[in-house]
Amino acid sequence: MWKKSFAVGLVAVLLMAVNVSAKEANGMTQDGEKRQAQKIVQTAGRDRLGDFAPDFARYNDDILFGEVWSRNDKLSLHDRSIVTVSALVASGILDSSLKFHLASAKKNGVTKEEMVEIITQLGFYAGWPKAWAAFGMAKEVYGEEK
């Protein structure tokens, strides 16, 4: 039970840390425009598991990405990326899925500076060794940008 409370609290702290305004939380842009949903197309499930676990592959590609991630008119891709990276790091999932989501976060507009702050924050709440491992991957993904 405490893990669920911790995860909910962590998400709340992270959303506050990235300055999610009430308008953004309600699917509005900063200037009051209604944010448009962008359909996410994912084939990784079918590419890697299609023959072996076709139902799981479909859930990954069509439900998780095709439906949940595509609800970006309600929560931006930027913020979904922050939540996802945070959940993976906090859970100790420091494999290729974290690297994929770090790259997605970069593509979705999470800056190097934001990612450094996110992982630093996670170090205190999720564990220092997890943050060290996440920084190793983030450094590969973000490189030495200026």
User: Which of the two residues, 24 and 99, has the higher pLDDT score?
Assistant: 99
Q: Over 90: is that where the pLDDT of 132 sits?
A: yes
Does residue 45 contact residue 60 with C-beta atoms inside 8 Å? Answer: yes
Phi, psi (deg, nearest 5) at residue 34:
-70, 125
Q: Any idea which of 5-9, 51-55, 79-83, 112-116 has the lowest mean pLDDT? A: 5-9
Q: What is the pTM of this model?
A: 0.74
Please, which residues have CB within 8 angstroms of residue 14's CB and are 6 or more apart in sequence?
Answer: 82, 83, 86, 118, 121
Please, which residues have CB within 8 angstroms of residue 114's CB and are 6 or more apart in sequence?
Answer: 18, 82
Does residue 44 contact residue 60 with C-beta atoms inside 8 Å? Answer: yes
The pLDDT of residue 40 is 83
- Rounded CA separation 143/146 (Å): 9
The pLDDT of residue 102 is 98
The pLDDT of residue 9 is 52
**Structure tokens that stand for 11 in this block:** 């998400």
18 pLDDT tier (thresholds 50, 70, 90):
very low
CATH 1.20.1290.10 residue ranges of the chain are 2-37+76-142
Range 65-79 average pLDDT: 94
Range 9-32 average pLDDT: 47
Structural domain 2-37+76-142, CATH architecture: Up-down Bundle (1.20)
Q: 25-51: per-residue pLDDT in tens?
A: 445 555 666 778 888 888 989 999 999
The pLDDT of residue 63 is 93
